[in-house]
A = this chain, B = another copy of it.
Amino acid sequence: MMTQISVEKFLDDLASAAPTPGGGSAAAIIGAMGAALISMVCNVTLGKKGQESAASEMQAVRDQSEKLRATLTAMVAEDVAAFDALMAAYRLPKGTEEEKGRRLEAIQSSLRGATETPLACARACAEVIALSKRAGEHGFAGVISDAGVGVLAAHTALRSCALNVFINAPSLKDRAFADQAVAEMNQMLETCARLTESVFSHVRGRLG
């Protein structure tokens, strides 16, 4: 499992010419870091005297950010699997008409997976961004900059996922699915760009 190796080994693997891990895996980990930072803001706030009025909100946010952190961490392996499946499909034999048909079918099926995986990752990142608004508003001022780092990380992960959706969707023969995926991705990009900058400005304003 790629997330059980050390941070340094992951960085070595990322830098190498090996096709995985690549940008998709990096995006999932950066998104998971964003979720972890939102959890940290909640955990610190829950332990501070004078922050009792924020407790129920911080517990609710942390429950969700911890679920999203687990989801995003698991997506590192899903990204690698989706990419490997696509590469394996392209390498299938294409000598006979029957082989050609089977190969094209395998490519289409794995292209769909390689579109759905980053789309699901982007949805999780959009949820982290929404949570960061609540953490940035109700979190303890002493750790509020961590909510700012969290929202930026989740937004970078979301935009990175978008690149993989935009790479794979155009080759899909199922145009209804592909158009819907691109439309949903564009909608998330637009909404989250605005929300991220608003949370970041709010956090910067609270630094004092």
Contacts and interface: CB of A to CB of B under 8 A. Distances in A.
A43 interface: yes
Contacts of A47: 17
Contact of A149 (B23, B39, B66, B143): B23
Contacts of A11: 3, 29, 32-33, 36, 69, 73
The DSSP consensus for interface residues of chain A is helix
A126 interface: no
A80 to B, nearest CB: 13
A43 B17 CA distance: 5
A156 B167 contact: no
B16 A37 contact: no
B29 A15 contact: no
Contacts of A164: 145
B27 A14 contact: no
A26 B66 contact: no
Given A4-B8, A6-B4, A145 B33 contact: no
Interface string A34-71: 01110110011011000000000000000001100100
Nearest to A1: B8
B40 A22 contact: yes
Given A3-B6, A4-B8, A73-B8, A26 B22 contact: no
Contacts of A15: 35-37, 39-40, 43, 65-66, 69
12 contacts: A5-B7, A16-B43, A22-B37, A23-B37, A26-B149, A29-B33, A30-B33, A145-B164, A145-B167, A155-B156, A163-B203, A163-B207
A94 interface: no
